[in-house]
């Protein structure tokens, strides 16, 4: 079996991962450009881990400016087998108040400006996103939350908007009526790219606000969000430390095939594949190319 390497992508308010031992930073250059920051390698309880702040250290990238392809490619080159995404979000559910954690299991992509695939002209592939979250990773997170007495709602749909502006009231009411659970700006195309790279992926969505649908709460402001972020970040760090302590040391095959997503995805015949495109896919798709 393959050794487990756990990747952590930190969202708003999470720019470091306390508790890592044997820490070293690595600057990675990918065929897709520069990732958000140098990768931070380390260990918790002897589990190899790789941390990347999604927005860069100091929060210098807006959701639309993040190089998602470079981030996931860099994680793949580092040997990451599973990713836990930590993401700030707004809530469409009365019972999911600011400070709540949600272990989402579905995504809706409403972004319009982002490169959402490693594949394209010269080498076409189509991967399944029917079930975007790796269940074993989600199970590990749920068990860690229970062990640490951190309340977490299991299941829900994360709608990813383009941003960087927050929702209009009409958008917020529409998404709520559609039954979505939370709204954020970063998990797409990140989840799609992780699947293309055959990395198991799960998200902890950390509620900071009620978006703007709630009649008893003001419209979202950065200052209000930051207040909740600080508390969320502390619990998230405790949660990740527990996940790491209990995470399987050997990578177990994903029951939905997240780690074999490319087995039947490539459609371009080998003799027609663009060598330049294939070269860029060395880390992401080298197993099948």
Residue 70, helix vs strand vs coil: helix
Using DSSP bridges, classify how beta strands 47-53 and 39-44 pair: parallel, antiparallel or unpaired: antiparallel
Distances in Å between the alpha carbon of 74 and those of 36, 78, 158, 204, 275?
10, 6, 25, 21, 21
Question: Is 41 flagged in the annotation as binding?
Answer: no
Question: Is 62 flagged in the annotation as binding?
Answer: no
Question: Is 65 flagged in the annotation as binding?
Answer: no
Question: Is 209 flagged in the annotation as binding?
Answer: yes
DSSP structure class, residue 83: E
Our CA angle for 289, 251, 130, nearest 5°, is: 65
Euclidean distance between CA atoms 10 and 74, whole angstroms: 15
Euclidean distance between CA atoms 95 and 276, whole angstroms: 50
Instruction: Report the Cα 1 to chain-centroid distance in Å.
Output: 24
Instruction: Note if the bond before 189 is cis, omega within 30 degrees.
Output: yes
Q: Terminal CA-to-CA distance of the chain, rounded, Å?
A: 21
Question: Is 46 flagged in the annotation as binding?
Answer: no
Tokens standing for residue 200: 């198991």
Residue corresponding to tokens 């998404």: 175
> Please, is 244 exposed, middle or buried when counting C-beta atoms within 10 Å of its C-beta (0-12, 13-18, 19+)?
buried
Which residues, including other chains, have CB under 8 Å from residue 165's CB and lie 6 or more apart? none
Question: Is 263 flagged in the annotation as binding?
Answer: no
Question: Is 25 flagged in the annotation as binding?
Answer: no
Question: Is 55 flagged in the annotation as binding?
Answer: yes
Which residues, including other chains, have CB under 8 Å from residue 166's CB and lie 6 or more apart? 90, 211, 212, 219, 220
Residue 120, helix vs strand vs coil: strand
Contact 142, 154 (CB under 8 A): yes
Q: Which residues are catalytic?
A: 209, 211
Which parts are annotated binding residues for phosphate?
12, 54-55, 87-88, 186
Which parts are annotated binding residues for substrate?
185, 209-211
Which parts are annotated binding residues?
12, 54-55, 87-88, 185-186, 209-211
């Amino acid at each position: 079996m393959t050794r487990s390497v756990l990747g952590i992508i930190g969202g708003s308010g999470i720019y470091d991962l306390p508790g890592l031992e044997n820490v070293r930073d690595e600057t990675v250059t990918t065929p897709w450009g520069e990732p958000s920051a140098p990768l931070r390698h380390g260990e918790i309880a002897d589990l190899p881990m790789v941390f990347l702040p999604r927005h860069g250290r100091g929060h210098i990238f807006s959701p639309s400016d993040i190089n998602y392809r470079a981030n996931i490619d860099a994680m793949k080159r580092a040997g990451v087998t599973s990713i836990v995404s930590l993401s700030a979000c707004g809530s469409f559910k009365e019972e999911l108040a600011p400070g709540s954690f949600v272990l989402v299991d579905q995504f809706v992509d409403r972004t319009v400006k982002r490169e959402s695939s490693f594949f394209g002209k010269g080498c076409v592939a189509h991967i399944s996103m029917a079930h975007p979250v790796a269940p074993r990773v989600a199970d590990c997170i749920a068990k860690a939350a229970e062990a640490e007495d951190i309340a977490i709602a299991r299941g829900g749909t994360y709608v990813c908007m383009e941003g960087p502006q927050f929702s209009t009231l009409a958008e917020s009411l529409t998404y709520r009526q559609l039954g979505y659970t939370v709204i954020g700006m970063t998990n797409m195309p990140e989840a799609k790219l992780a699947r293309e790279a055959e990395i198991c992926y799960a998200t902890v969505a950390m509620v900071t606000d009620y978006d703007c649908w709630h009649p008893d709460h003001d419209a979202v402001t950065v200052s209000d969000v930051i207040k909740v972020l600080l508390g969320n970040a502390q619990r998230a760090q405790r949660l990740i430390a527990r996940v790491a302590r209990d995470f399987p040391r050997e990578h177990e095959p994903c029951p939905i095939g997240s780690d074999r997503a490319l087995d039947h995805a490539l459609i371009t015949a080998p003799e027609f594949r663009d060598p330049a495109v294939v070269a860029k896919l060395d880390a992401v798709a080298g197993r099948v190319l």
